[in-house]
């Protein structure tokens, strides 16, 4: 069983009187790949900077392997940070960049040479020792920034949107590289991104944040298939989010039609939020549909068609299906009970920010 490596306990942080983190608690296990995911301003980078020692929390503790490191400077912590802008030294060659931290630690020349070779091999840049920073592509510079971090043998690697400046293909390649390195090195990764696909692809655990709060924490599958509130459902992938009435256990009314579901314990005739993923909307013959609508929009996406089906009440259902429904054609809508996610409606804006779903 993996032990907790990092514990954030009751962390709060304000900038200029504006609360950025509000009583945040988070545990990260050893050898885990944890992604902090959320929109700009949600507090994810501030959380990372507090762990790294670049910001000091107003209240709370940073516990590393059982020790309170809240007051330690970054260079005294057993971790390294890779920033989006890489922060490589342009006046040094690649070997000198990688060796920088080791020289500060007064490591021997032979030790440093061995580490440079090992790190370059790990990031698939053998033989690049004497190249200049300017001669490298963005993706290569990003790899060197990672190599410079891992030669210090940190127990924890912090990555702040390190792939943000790369093009799509290179970003996807680097995602697989990071997963491979994490497995090979046995280092704990905490990764910050606002890219949902990146988080789903790479993480053992995703922490979805909004307005300084953790909205939900779980595996990629849990976050995608079982969102705990409308914010998570809306932020992770595409969703149809509708108001509904929970008539009783296992029966919900959506847009005036009764849909069997599997959720219980919401009470009788209670207003709820309903989340249905577009790939879970089945298009059937109108006579077989729980609801009937008309296809009003169609795009071919390669693997599937993306369609909008408008029901008489004006709601536009987003549908992903390999089955084509031409624009203007009527179609029935069916949803399997297991694919209907029921959530309590938040009673206030504060509850909405907190992601309350008791």
Query: What domains appear along the chain, each with residue ranges and CATH number?
Result: 4-225 (3.40.50.300), 238-277+335-358 (no CATH), 282-334 (2.40.50.140)
Residue-wise pLDDT tens digits, 181-230: 888 888 899 999 988 888 999 999 999 999 999 999 999 999 999 999 98
pLDDT at 355 over 60: no
- 171 confidence band (pLDDT: 50, 70, 90): confident
Please report the pLDDT score of residue 177 as a whole number: 82
- 352 confidence band (pLDDT: 50, 70, 90): low
- Say if strands 213-218 and 257-260 run parallel, antiparallel, or are unpaired: unpaired
Q: Closest Cα partner for 346 from 210, 155, 190, 167?
A: 210
Q: Which long-range contacts (CB under 8 A, 24 or more apart) does 103-107 make?
A: 104/75, 105/152
How many DSSP H helices and E strands does the chain contain? Answer: 9, 20
Q: What is the reported pTM?
A: 0.83
- 268 confidence band (pLDDT: 50, 70, 90): very high
Neighbouring residues of 192: CB distance < 8 A, sequence distance ≥ 6: 35, 36, 44, 45, 47, 48, 158, 159, 160, 161
CA dihedral 254, 260, 264, 265 (to 10 degrees): 40
d(CA 199, CA 39): 13
Max mean pLDDT among 85-94, 137-146, 225-234 falls in 225-234
Lowest mean pLDDT segment, chosen from 47-61, 66-80, 158-172, 282-296: 158-172
For residues 214 and 172, the model is more confident at 214
d(CA 352, CA 355): 5
Residue 17 CB coordination number (10 Å): 5
For residues 145 and 221, the model is more confident at 221
What is the number of residues in the chain?
A: 358
d(CA 101, CA 74): 12
Please report the pLDDT score of residue 240 as a whole number: 94
Residue 355 φ/ψ, nearest 5 degrees? 70, 35
Cα angle 221, 226, 230 (rounded to 5 degrees) comes to 125
């Amino acid at each position: 069983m993996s032990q907790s490596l990092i514990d954030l306990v009751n962390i709060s942080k304000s900038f200029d009187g504006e609360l950025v983190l509000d009583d945040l608690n988070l545990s990260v296990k050893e050898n885990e790949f944890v992604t902090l995911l959320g929109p700009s301003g949600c507090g994810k980078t501030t959380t990372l900077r507090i762990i790294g020692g670049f910001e000091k929390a107003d209240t709370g503790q940073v516990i590393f392997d059982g020790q309170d490191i809240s007051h330690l400077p970054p260079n005294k912590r057993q971790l390294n940070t890779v920033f989006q802008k890489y922060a490589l030294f342009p006046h040094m060659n690649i070997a000198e960049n990688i060796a920088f931290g080791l020289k500060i630690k007064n490591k021997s020349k032979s030790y440093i040479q061995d580490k440079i070779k090992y790190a370059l091999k790990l990031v698939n840049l053998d033989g690049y020792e004497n190249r200049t920073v300017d001669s490298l592509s963005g993706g290569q510079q990003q790899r060197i920034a990672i190599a410079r971090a891992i030669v210090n043998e940190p127990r924890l690697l912090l990555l702040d949107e390190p792939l943000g400046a790369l093009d799509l293909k290179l970003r996807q390649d680097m995602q697989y590289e990071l997963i491979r390195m994490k497995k090979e090195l046995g280092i704990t990764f905490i990764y910050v991104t606002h890219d949902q696909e990146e988080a789903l692809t790479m993480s053992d655990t995703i922490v979805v944040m909004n307005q300084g709060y953790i909205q939900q924490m779980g595996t990629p599958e849990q976050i995608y298939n079982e969102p705990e509130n409308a914010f998570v459902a809306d932020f992770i992938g595409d969703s149809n989010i509708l108001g509904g009435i929970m008539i009783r256990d296992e029966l919900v009314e959506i847009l005036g039609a009764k849909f069997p579901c599997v959720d219980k314990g919401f009470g009788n005739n209670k207003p709820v939020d309903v989340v249905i993923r577009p790939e879970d909307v089945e298009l059937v013959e109108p006579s077989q549909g729980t609801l009937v609508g008309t296809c009003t929009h169609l795009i071919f996406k390669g693997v599937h068609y993306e369609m909008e089906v408008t029901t008489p009440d004006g709601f536009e259902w987003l549908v992903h299906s390999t089955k084509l429904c031409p624009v203007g054609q009527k179609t029935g809508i069916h949803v399997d009970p297991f694919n209907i996610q029921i959530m309590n409606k938040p009673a206030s804006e504060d509850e909405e920010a907190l992601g309350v779903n008791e």
